[in-house]
Amino acid sequence: MSMVYGVLLSVVINMGMDKIMPSLKEIMQNTGPDEKIAILVHMAEKPDFEAIKNLPPKEYVEYIKNFAENSQRDIINYLKTNFSNKIEGLNPYWIFNGFYVKATKEVIEELAKREDVEYIIEDFVIQLEEVKPADPTILTPTWNVTKVKADSCWNAGYTGAGVIIGHMDTGVDINHPALQGKWLSPYWYDPINGQPNPYDDNGHGTHTMGTILGGDGNGPFANDIGVAPGAKFVACKICNSGGSCPSSAIHAGFQQIATWRSQGVLIVAASNSWGSTATTSTEFWQDCTNWRNVGIFPVFSIGNSGPNPNTAGTPGNFPIVIGVGATDANDNIASFSSRGPAPNQAPWNQTQYWMRPDWNRTKPDISAPGVNVYSSLPGGSYGNMSGTSMACPHVTGAIAIINQKNSALDVPTIYNLLLDWADKPSQGAPYPNNNYGWGRLNVYQALLHTPTPNMPNVYLESYTLQDAGGNGYWDPGETAYIRVTLRNTGANATNVNGTLRTTSPYVTIQDSTSSFGNIPQGGSANNNNDPYIVVAASNTPVGTQVTFQVYITADGGYSNTSSFTVVIGQVGQDWVDHDCGNILLTVTKWGSIGYLASTQAAGHGCRYPITNTATRLFYG
C-alpha cells in the first residue's frame, strides 16, 4: 500500500553546543578526548502524527519505521563514513525519531552542528524511586482491591478475562503462585541482560504485576491481590537489579510493546510504575504518542516527590497518559504522592492533547491505593510496599476489566469513565484538584457506566463558555453561554438530548436543555445554535469551582452522564511562563523575571532553546 503523509519539522534556530543538553555538557567536560559517551540523538524531523493516527496498527508501525529510517539515513551514513573508529553500538529507533550511539566528544560536537538534529542527551538513567516504608501490620491482604471495588466486578462476571496488559518494570517472576499461567508466551523482552525467559532480580515488577492481576478472584486461591485476575500479560524488563532504568532500555521497551501490538497482540494498556523527576522533559513524548496511536493506553505512576505542588513527574504528567497518585486505607492522599499542576508550556497547555475539555493541567488524573499495598514478591512470597508505583497497577487492572465489557472503547472514553466515576473522599474536596485528581479509583462504578458494544456511547467531547461581558472570564453576577460538542463512539444514537445540571448553590441554569438530533457511530453534534444559559450569583467567591453534568439520553432507553468543571472569576497567579515556542521566560506577579524568589523554587527562569532544562537567567 502506498502512503503519503505530511511531515512536521521542529524548527531549530540554535546551532552547535545549544543542542547538547546541559547534563551531557557536564559529562563531556570530565571526559577524555578518546573516551566514548553513551548518547541519544533526537532528530528534528517528526511525522505528522495527526495525519496517520487512524491507520491500523500494522500499517502505522510500518509507516513510522520507514519514516525514521529515511530521516536517519543521511546522518547514520555520515557517522559511519567519517567517524567509524570514534563510535560504537549505533542503534536506530523508530518509537522516537532518533538513535543511540557511544561517541567521542568530537563526534558529539559535530552532530550538534547538523540542522537535522534537534537535541542530544546522555543515555541518562531513571532510578526507581525508593519504595516508601510500609507498616508491617497487614490491614487485610486485599484491602486495596476491596477499596477500588474490584471484587464487585468479579461478582458481576468481569475479571479482565481475555484482555492483554503490557508491563515495563524490573521483570516478573512468572512462577509465583499468584501469577502462574498469566504470562502470554513468548512475549518477553529484556534489553537489560538479554535473557530469553521472564525473571525479576529486583522485586518491584513482581509486586506491581501482582496488583494488576494476581490471584484468581472468586476462586479457591487464598491471596487475591490483583484487580483483574482474569487478564494476561506481556512484559519488558527495562530496569536492572538495582532499580536503575537506562533511557535507551526504556525506549527499547516502548518500541517492543508497540511492535507486538502491530503483530496482532491486542495489548490494551501498559503499566509503568516508573518516571522522571524532570517535570518538563519530553524525552518519552513520541513513545507515548505512538502507543496511543496503535491503541495502547499508557498508565503511569505520578511520582513520590510530594507533597509540594509542581512535582508531578514525567511521563506521568503528560496530557496523553493517565497519571496515578497514591492514597491510604482511609482515603487520605499520601504525603509522598507527587502533586500537579503539569507545566504551563507546550505540549501540556495545548488543548489538542487533552483527553477531557476541563483537564487544564490537573495531575494526577486519578488516585488509587498506594500505602501498605500487599502483593507478590519473587520466590513465592508476599509483602507490603508503598509508593505511587503501587497505585498505578490498580488503574491498569481497571482498564482490563472495562475492556472485557467493551473492547471497542477508545482511550479517551475509558479515561473519562475512570475519572467521572471515581470516588471523591470528603477530605479531598473540591474536585478535581492537584492532589487526588478527579478522585480515588472505583472500578465498579466505571464498569456499571461502561456501555455494551451494541449500545451508543455518547459523551462530552468539548465545551466552550462564552461570558456575556466578553472579557474571557465568567465573573460573579454574570450570565454565560455554554456550548458543547457530543461524540458517539458506539452504535448509532437517535433523538439525542442533553440536560445540563449542577448542584452548585452559586449557579442558576436558565436554559438547561438542548437537542442534538441523531448522532451516527463515529459522528458528533453540538448545540451552538441553542446554548445552555447559566448565571453566577453576585456573591460567588472568586475561584469557585463549579462542576456541571450533561445528562445525555437517546432512543431505546440509552443514557449517560459526562461532567466538566469551570471556575468563576479570574484567579491570580504568582507566576506564569511566557512560551514563544523556542524560548520560555517566567514572569512573576511582583514584576521579577525568571523566579518568584532567590531560592528559585517557583519559576523556570529563561530556557533557550526550550528543550534545554537549564536556566539562562538567575534571580537577582
Distance of CA 433 to the CA centre of its chain: 17
Grid coordinates belonging to 518: 441523531
Grid coordinates belonging to 107: 563526534
What distance in Å separates the CA atoms of residue 346 and residue 197, rounded to the nearest whole number?
Answer: 41
The type of residue at 67 is F
Closest CA to 507 of 533, 468, 537, 485: 537
Cβ density class 52-71: b for 16+ within 10 Å, e for less: beebebeebbbbbbebbeeb
Active-site hit among 281, 389, 514, 563: 389
Active-site hit among 42, 167, 176, 204: 204
Active-site hit among 169, 200, 224, 287: 169
DSSP letters, 437-463, are BT-B--HHHHHHTPPPTTS--EEEEEE
Q: Note whether 584 and 531 are within 8 A (CB).
A: no
Largest CA distance in the chain: 75
3-class SS of residue 113: coil
At residue 342, what are phi and psi to the nearest 5 degrees? -70, 160
Residue 346: count other Cβ atoms within 10 Å of its Cβ. Answer: 15
The answer to whether residue 389 is catalytic is: yes
Grid coordinates belonging to 104: 567521542
What distance in Å separates the CA atoms of residue 206 and residue 191, rounded to the nearest whole number?
Answer: 18
Q: Note whether 323 and 304 are within 8 A (CB).
A: no
- Which run of H or of E encompasses 144? helix 143-147
Q: Hey, which residues are catalytic here? A: 169, 204, 389
